[in-house]
């Protein structure tokens, strides 16, 4: 993770990647805005979304208890995992119990977070990704670069070559439909032979004990209904209070993410197979903490957990658009990643992420649940450079990871200069008097720009002269 | 971030403070003086508080709250009378209007900061909403591209007032550039911490602006202008961005302060 700057260098200088992301983000931004023509309606929907998520988080422990009870009543088994390792072990234990050889997977960012695929492979269980993007990445031994469109960094040509090399009987074609059909043929076989289906979850409804999963390809429906066992895996913050809360959140999610009024499939899973029905005999839910309870404990940072993973923040982020997702080096890239990853991984590992933003606010302007991302980035910067007072407890792992004496001393001097009118006058006078001595180069700045030179006279002294000449007041 | 509820504006005051900002003070002071004369021409008494320095934003966005507070305190003391504060930057305006109350939350100055924040108006916002500024355009016909800072747009919600002032100039055609809503890549310390990401952003911005073929580039934020102008000059472009205050002053018959 700490080679963030190296990855930035690598990806900024990849013109194909740059243009892929620019075009894809333009497309997604246009799709979203075409779905929200009326700003007032959008703003009140965002208010509603934010309040639903805030309410759910305000009673999180109670809702989780209620959820667990309802799910158990419905026959769904609930597992709690504190760490990625525990979550993976729970999956493996279930797989071993059923003698499972293959697991067919719907898209799950939490399973990316726990690196489940790598773990299962080591343990002799074969994971097969069935989301088209994830399927491509698995073939390419690559990682998601976007949380909704995981393979968005791949060109059609790259995918055509990949399928030609890896899928039996698939010839090179740039016809998207033909490519999808080729993959679907392979996947159809996998759905039928898989022992377990594993998916993520978008929302969990505490009132009814329902797991909600949205998708467009039908692979989620297949993964949750064809194999005999379904394992759902998600972060514990995804709970909402009641079914009434669901429609506005779904509307916000799908419109913000892909500009769709609703996804092709909305799966609502409330129990294993009932008598006379089809579906899996066993349904499990794994609830992962992995550091989420850390921001939960802080009123401001708790807002991070409001996220419904629509990715609108990355689609609109000028930094993400230039870098793509891999440069961040974390499961969740972009603005949401830069405020979430420090809690999941600690600030030591992620200390460069909060400062890799201009705080332009494009993210929070589109966030469907009104997460004040720039405020949270700034807060993390603050926690990164602050020393704890005696007896004070850290609000994040790796607190103070970015603290250096040099930088602290520089800001102290800066503060002294700008909080003392007398010092500032002297400074301004010498900067203007000796403007000829201004260096023509400054590390970083002059790689792309010329450096401005101080004016002959500061505004302070221009105003003074003007007042003298015009005899004016104040 | 962006304010949803329309702000309540005061009636025309007798006196205002003019806040020049630290960048304008040392790098583009003419814009400050032009703004001062323009406000006086509207019949407003202008106080340029001599003790003003910087709003504290550089330290604040870098996470150094104590250091930012020291500097912020001075600005509030320097402009203690209950007059509106007219600020020549949406970014410094956002700092004082939105972030001062948070910076002093739970401290003895909390109430002072809150009241101070209510008196903060970005320059174009003040002209349009408080002064109902209307002046005859005396300049030649030309096309103008506008860059609005992200804080002006999303914290102060004043991109529309900047446009309105340009659109009020009858011989000027305002052109919109591609991705106009997007950040220019300045971001304060961001541009030196991540010079290449910032460089990629400002190069795209420069390309979008020059592609419009506009004769002029206008912005009400000198931070962005310093960034965009630096890149324009680096690339050998003749175009050079100007502060909105100077442009308005020049187009409506004001003398140059040089």
Answer yes or no: do A12 and B59 touch at CB < 8 A.
no
Task: Residue window 360-419, chain A: list those with CB within 8 Å of chain B.
Answer: 360-362, 364-365, 372, 374, 378, 380-386, 402, 408, 411-412, 414-419
Query: Of B130, B152, B171, which residue sits at a domain end?
Result: B130
**Residue B33 to chain A, least CA–CA distance (Å):** 7
Q: CB within 8 A of A251, min separation 6: which ones? A: A45, A261, A262
> Could you give the number of structural domains in chain B?
2
Contacts of A380 in chain B (CB under 8 A): 63
Q: What is the distance in angstroms between the Cα of A192 and the nearest Cα belonging to chain B?
A: 47
Q: Measured between CB atoms, which of A12, A323, A449 is closest to B202?
A: A449
Choosing among A315, A378, A449, A465, which should be mutated to test the B contact, i.e. which has the most B CBs within 10 A?
A449
- Strand-pairing partners, residue A126, are A102
A106 contacts A224 by C-beta, under 8 angstroms = yes
pTM for this predicted structure? 0.96
Q: How confident is the model at residue B256 (pLDDT cuts 50, 70, 90)?
A: low
0.85 surpassed by complex ipTM = yes
Output the six-digit token pair for B176: 């919109």
| B59 neighbourhood in chain A, CB within 8 Å | 411, 414-415
Domain assignment of residue B8, yes or no: no
How does residue B258 score in pLDDT terms, banded at 50, 70 and 90? Answer: very low
Q: Give the A window 4-43 contacts with B, CB below 8 Å.
A: 8-9, 12, 18, 43
**Which of A:227-286 have CB within 8 Å of B?**
none
Q: Is B2 inside any structural domain?
A: no
Sheet of A210-215: strands edge to edge?
A239-240, A203-205, A210-215, A265-269
Across A253-336, where does the E strand assignment appear?
A: 265-269, 282-288
Q: Does residue B49 belong to any structural domain of this protein? A: yes
User: Do A31 and A259 form a contact (C-beta atoms < 8 A)?
Assistant: yes
- How many angstroms separate the CA atoms of A249 and A240, rounded? 10
State the pairing for strand pair A210-215/A265-269.
antiparallel
Nearest CA to CA, how far is B15 from chain A (Å)? 10
Residue B153 within any structural domain of the chain? yes
User: Do B29 and B114 share a domain, yes or no?
Assistant: yes
Mutate to test the interface with A, among B39, B51, B53 (most CBs of A within 10 A): B53
All structural domains of chain A, each given as residue ranges with its CATH number in brackets, are 36-293 (3.40.50.10420), 405-470 (no CATH)
Contact A360 B154 (CB under 8 A): yes
Q: CB distance B197–A356 less than 8 Å? A: yes
Q: Which residue of A has its CA nearest to B32?
A: A459
What pLDDT does residue A473 have?
55
Beta-sheet pairing, A239-240 with A282-288: unpaired
- Of A361, A380, A455, nearest to B150 by CB-CB distance is A361
Q: How far apart are CA B122 and CA B86, in angstroms?
A: 6
Q: How many CB atoms lie within 10 A of CB A465?
A: 12
Q: Are residues B124 and B40 in the same domain?
A: yes
CA distances from A64 to A71, A74, A211, A268, B256 (A): 10, 15, 13, 18, 67
Q: Are residues B161 and B203 in the same domain?
A: yes
Taking the CA atoms of A135, A185, A200 and A44 in sequence, report the sign of the dihedral they define: positive
CA dihedral A14, A15, A16, A19 (to 10 degrees): 130
Contacts of A416 in chain B (CB under 8 A): 70
- Please report residues of A whose CB lies closer than 8 A to that of B54: 418
SS3 A153: coil
Task: Determine the 3-state secondary structure of A268 from DSSP.
Answer: strand
**Average pLDDT of each block of 10 consecutive residues along chain A (474 residues)?**
85 93 97 97 98 98 98 98 98 98 98 98 98 98 97 95 94 96 95 97 98 98 97 98 98 98 97 93 98 96 98 98 97 98 97 97 98 98 93 92 95 97 95 86 88 95 94 61
Q: Which of A398-412, B4-18, B117-131 has the weakest average pLDDT?
A: B4-18
Rg (CA), chain A: 26
Tell me if B196 is assigned to some domain: yes
Residues B50 and B155 in one domain: no
Which residue among A318, A365, A457 places its CB closest to the CB of B29? A457
CB-CB under 8 Å, B40 with A472: yes
Phi (first) and psi of residue A442, to 5 degrees: -145, 130
User: Which of B38, B49, B55, B67 best probes binding to A when mutated, by most A CB atoms within 10 angstroms?
Assistant: B67
In 3-state terms, what secondary structure has residue A237?
helix
Q: Same domain, yes or no, for B108 and B212?
A: no
Indicate the residue of B29, B155, B191 with minimum beta-carbon distance to A458: B29
> Across the interface, which of A452, A458, A462 has its CB nearest the CB of B230?
A452
The residue with tokens 């900002």 is B21
Give the gap in angstroms from C-alpha B76 to the nearest C-alpha of chain A.
Answer: 11
Looking at the fold, whether B108 and B148 belong to one and the same domain comes out as no
CA proximity to A222, closest of A129, A323, A299 = A129
Last residue of a domain, one of B79, B107, B130: B130
110-169 of A, contacting B, C-beta below 8 A: none
Residues B146 and B110 in one domain: no
- H-state helical runs in chain B: 22-27, 29-41, 57-61, 65-78, 90-94, 100-103, 110-118, 123-125, 150-154, 159-167, 190-193, 195-211, 222-234, 244-251
Q: What is the pLDDT of residue A474?
A: 55
Query: Looking at the domain assignment, is residue B213 inside a domain?
Result: yes
- Write the residue in B27, B154, B226 that is nearest to A365 by C-beta: B154
**B148 and B110 within one domain:** no
Same domain, B163 and B241: yes
Supply the CATH number for residue B215's domain. 3.40.50.11810
Does residue B201 sit in the same domain as residue B98? no
Query: Would you state the pLDDT for residue A2?
Result: 58
Same domain, B107 and B172: no
* B195: chain A residues, CB-CB within 8 Å: 443-445, 447-448
Contact list in B for residue A408 (CB cut-off 8 A) is 64
* CA-to-CA separations, A96 to A92, A101, A111, A284, A413, in angstroms, rounded: 6, 9, 18, 14, 62
pLDDT tens per residue, range B60-119: 999 999 999 999 999 999 999 999 999 999 999 999 999 999 999 999 999 999 999 999
Q: Is B117 part of a structural domain of the chain?
A: yes
d(CA B77, CA B147): 32
pLDDT for residue B13 = 98
- Which domain-ending residue is among B110, B130, B150? B130
Report if residue B106 sits inside a domain. Answer: yes
Structure confidence at residue B6 (pLDDT): 75
What would the pLDDT profile of B154-209 be if each residue is shown by its tens digit? 999 999 999 999 999 999 999 999 999 999 999 998 999 999 999 999 999 999 99
Same domain, B101 and B201: no
Please give, rounded to a whole number of angstroms, the shortest distance from the CA of A244 to a CA of chain B.
26
Interface size, chain A vs chain B, as Cβ–Cβ contacts under 8 Å: 210
Answer whether residue B4 shows pLDDT above 60: no
Distance CA A169, CA A163 (A): 9
CB contact under 8 A, B1 and A359: no
Domain residues for B24? 15-130
For residue A471, the model assigns a pLDDT of 72
For residue A61, what are the CA distances in angstroms to A72, A241, B126?
Answer: 17, 11, 48
């Amino acid at each position: 993770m700490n080679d963030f700057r190296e990855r930035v260098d690598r990806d900024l200088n990849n013109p194909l990647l740059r243009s892929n992301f620019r075009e894809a983000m333009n497309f997604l931004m246009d799709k979203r805005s075409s779905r929200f023509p009326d700003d007032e309606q959008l703003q009140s929907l965002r208010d509603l979304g934010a309040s639903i998520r805030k309410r759910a988080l305000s009673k999180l422990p109670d809702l989780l208890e209620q959820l667990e009870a309802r799910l158990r009543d419905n026959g769904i088994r609930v597992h709690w995992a504190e760490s990625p390792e525990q979550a993976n072990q729970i999956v493996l234990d279930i797989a071993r119990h059923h003698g499972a050889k293959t697991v067919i997977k719907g898209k799950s960012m939490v399973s990316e977070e726990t690196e489940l695929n790598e773990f299962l492979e080591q343990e002799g269980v074969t994971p097969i990704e069935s989301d088209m993007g994830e399927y491509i990445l698995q073939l390419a031994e690559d990682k998601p670069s976007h949380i909704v469109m995981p393979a968005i960094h791949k060109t059609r040509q790259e995918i055509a070559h990949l399928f030609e090399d890896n899928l039996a009987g698939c010839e090179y074609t740039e016809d998207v439909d033909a490519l999808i059909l080729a993959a679907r043929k392979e996947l159809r076989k996998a759905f039928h032979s898989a022992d377990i289906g594993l998916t993520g979850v978008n929302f969990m409804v505490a009132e009814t004990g329902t797991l909600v999963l949205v998708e467009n390809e039908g692979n989620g429906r297949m993964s949750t209904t064809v194999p005999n066992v379904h394992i759902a895996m998600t972060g514990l913050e995804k709970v909402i209070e009641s079914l009434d809360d669901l429609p506005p959140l779904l509307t916000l999610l799908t419109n913000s993410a892909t500009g769709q009024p609703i996804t092709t499939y909305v799966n609502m899973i409330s129990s294993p197979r009932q008598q006379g029905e089809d579906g899996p005999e066993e349904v499990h839910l794994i609830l992962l903490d992995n550091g989420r309870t850390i921001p939960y404990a802080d009123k401001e940072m708790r807002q991070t957990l409001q996220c419904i993973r629509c990715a609108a923040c990355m689609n609109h982020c000028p930094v993400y658009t230039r870098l793509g997702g891999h440069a961040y080096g974390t499961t969740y890239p972009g603005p949401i990643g830069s405020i979430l990853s420090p809690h999941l991984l600690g600030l030591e590992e992620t200390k460069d992420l909060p400062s890799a933003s201009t705080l332009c606010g494009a993210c929070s302007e589109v966030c469907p649940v009104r997460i004040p991302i720039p405020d949270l980035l700034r807060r993390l910067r603050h926690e990164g450079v602050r020393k704890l007072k005696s007896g004070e407890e850290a609000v994040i792992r790796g607190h103070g990871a970015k603290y250096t004496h040099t930088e602290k001393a520089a800001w102290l001097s800066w503060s002294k200069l700008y909080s003392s009118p007398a010092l500032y006058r002297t400074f301004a006078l010498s900067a203007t008097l000796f403007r000829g001595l201004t260096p023509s180069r400054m590390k970083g700045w002059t790689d792309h720009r010329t450096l401005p030179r101080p004016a002959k006279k500061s505004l302070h002294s221009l105003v003074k002269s003007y007042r003298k000449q015009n005899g004016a007041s104040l | 971030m962006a304010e949803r509820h329309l702000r309540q504006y005061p009636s025309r005051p007798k006196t205002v403070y003019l806040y020049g900002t630290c960048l304008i003070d040392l790098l583009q002071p003419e814009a400050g003086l032009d703004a001062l004369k323009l406000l006086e021409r509207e019949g407003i008494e202008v106080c340029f508080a001599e003790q003003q320095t910087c709003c504290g934003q550089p330290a604040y966005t870098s996470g150094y709250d104590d250091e930012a507070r020291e500097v912020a305190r001075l600005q509030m003391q320097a402009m203690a009378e209950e007059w509106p504060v007219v600020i020549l930057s949406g970014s410094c305006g956002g700092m004082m209007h939105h972030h001062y109350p948070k910076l002093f939350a739970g401290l003895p100055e909390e109430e002072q900061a809150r009241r101070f924040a209510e008196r903060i108006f970005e320059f174009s916002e003040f002209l349009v909403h408080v002064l109902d500024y209307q002046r005859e355009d005396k300049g030649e016909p030309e096309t103008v591209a506008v860059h609005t800072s992200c804080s002006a747009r999303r914290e102060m919600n004043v991109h529309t007032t900047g446009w309105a002032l340009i659109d009020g100039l009858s011989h000027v055609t305002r052109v919109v550039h591609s991705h106009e809503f997007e950040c220019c890549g300045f971001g304060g310390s961001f541009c030196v911490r991540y010079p290449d990401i910032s460089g990629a952003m400002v190069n795209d911005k420069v390309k979008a602006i020059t592609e419009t073929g506009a004769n002029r580039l206008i912005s009400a934020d000198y931070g962005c202008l310093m960034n965009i102008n630096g890149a324009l000059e680096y690339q050998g472009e003749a175009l050079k961005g100007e502060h909105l205050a100077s442009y308005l002053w020049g187009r409506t018959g004001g003398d140059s302060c040089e």
